[in-house]
Amino acid sequence: MSVNASWLRMFIEMRKRHKLDGRTLALGVQDVMFTHETAEALLAEAHIEEGIKHLKLAVEKVQKGNAPEGTKHAEEALIHLKQRGLSYASIPVANRRYHLSRNQKQFTSNPNHYMCVKDLFQMLGFSSLDTLDAFGNDQPDIEWDLCQPISKEMHNSYDLLFDIGVLEHTSDIFQALENVGNLVKPGGWIILYLPMVSPINSSMYHPNPPFYFDILSGNGFGDFDAWINWMPDWDQQNDIRTIWLNYQYNDDVYIWRPRYFTVMWFMARKMKHVGEFRPDLQNFYKEWHAGMELFGTSQEELTRTGKLMSD
């Protein structure tokens, strides 16, 4: 997968909601499927929408007799509309960096067409972006196989880590997730964007929601924010729109849709540093965080004794 317009819109919204910032790491040297000019347009769109939202709030507050709050929202709206999304400096043409991967060569042979992911995050206002990959072909900042434990010197290094379709290609996905958890600082966020339904042979795993909720809740993470994204097939993206649905643990959702891939967007904040992840049984999240007594034996006791539950 790669950074497309839908992913960027969602990232902008989640960044605002959860105040995402700081030192950032991308798993994989991510393809960006648009140009610098398109990135500017998408940022402009985001700020116009924010401005309109504040204008509506201003009118609502004034109508309810709260003029000071109305004035506050009107001023905020003007800021966004005047900036038109260009509050982050555009990158001069001479300083722009480009990226053309094997996948992107399906669409163009021009090496100066698609923008580099580092330029995108510079435009978003991030001071830096590091990349991690198992292979050196795309010149990542960190060359590391996520199936191997990350060195302790790298623990608690990042404020934000995002993955757009990497973990599902690792044979030891549990070890890879442990590495993700260790790379982020306490208080930092991870964003995992992994397929639930995709074409045959496109990945080793299709993680379902318990993979995220149960393992991460048992290993120091909380403040979950999960979304299901139905992404149009590549040959359908000019005809049908992407769909997003907020997901709560144990929601009964039919994930198959014709002409769509189904992807989980999962965000979690690191509450404490655990180090070595412990394996957890499914329903850990439900028992310990939703207040439901499902088992007679506690998860702590099961982990300690190594016994398995029986029906």
Q: Give pLDDT tens digits along the chain (311 positions).
A: 789 889 998 998 899 899 999 999 999 999 998 899 888 888 877 665 565 565 566 567 666 777 777 677 566 655 555 554 335 557 889 999 999 988 889 889 999 999 999 999 998 889 899 999 999 988 999 999 999 999 999 999 999 999 999 999 999 999 999 999 999 999 999 999 999 988 888 899 999 998 999 999 989 999 999 999 998 886 666 667 889 999 998 888 999 988 889 999 999 999 999 999 988 777 777 665 555 444 434 444 434 333 333 33
What gap in Å lies between CA 162 and CA 168, rounded to an integer? 14
* pLDDT tens readout for residues 151-210: 999 999 999 999 999 999 999 999 999 999 999 999 999 999 999 988 888 899 999 998
Question: Can you give the pLDDT at residue 16?
Answer: 86
Question: Can you give the pLDDT at residue 72?
Answer: 73
Sequence letter at residue 2: S
Matching residue, tokens 């993206």: 237
The contacts of residue 280 (CB under 8 Å, 6+ apart) are 214, 215, 217, 218, 219, 299, 303
What gap in Å lies between CA 4 and CA 120, rounded to an integer? 11
Question: Can you give the pLDDT at residue 86?
Answer: 38
Q: How would you classify the pairing of strands 221-232 and 158-164?
A: unpaired
Question: Can you give the pLDDT at residue 165?
Answer: 93
Question: Can you give the pLDDT at residue 310?
Answer: 33
HEC letters along the chain: CCECHHHHHHHHHHHHHHCCCCCEEEECCCCECCCHHHHHHHHHHHHHHHHHHHHHHHHHHHHCCCHHHHHHHHHHHHHHHHHCCCCCCCCCHHHCCECCCCCHHHCCCCCCCCECHHHHHHHCCCCCEEEEECCCCCCCCEECCCCCCCCHHHCCCEEEEEEECCHHHCCCHHHHHHHHHHHEEEEEEEEEEEEEECCCCCCCCCCCHHHHHHHHHCCCEEEEEEEEEEEECHHHCCCCCCEEEEECCCCCCCCCCCCEEEEEEEEEEECCCCCCCCCCCCCHHHHHHCCCCCCCCCHHHHHHHCCCCCC
* pLDDT tens readout for residues 134-161: 999 889 999 999 999 999 999 999 999 9
Query: Do 175 and 147 form a contact (C-beta atoms < 8 A)?
Result: yes
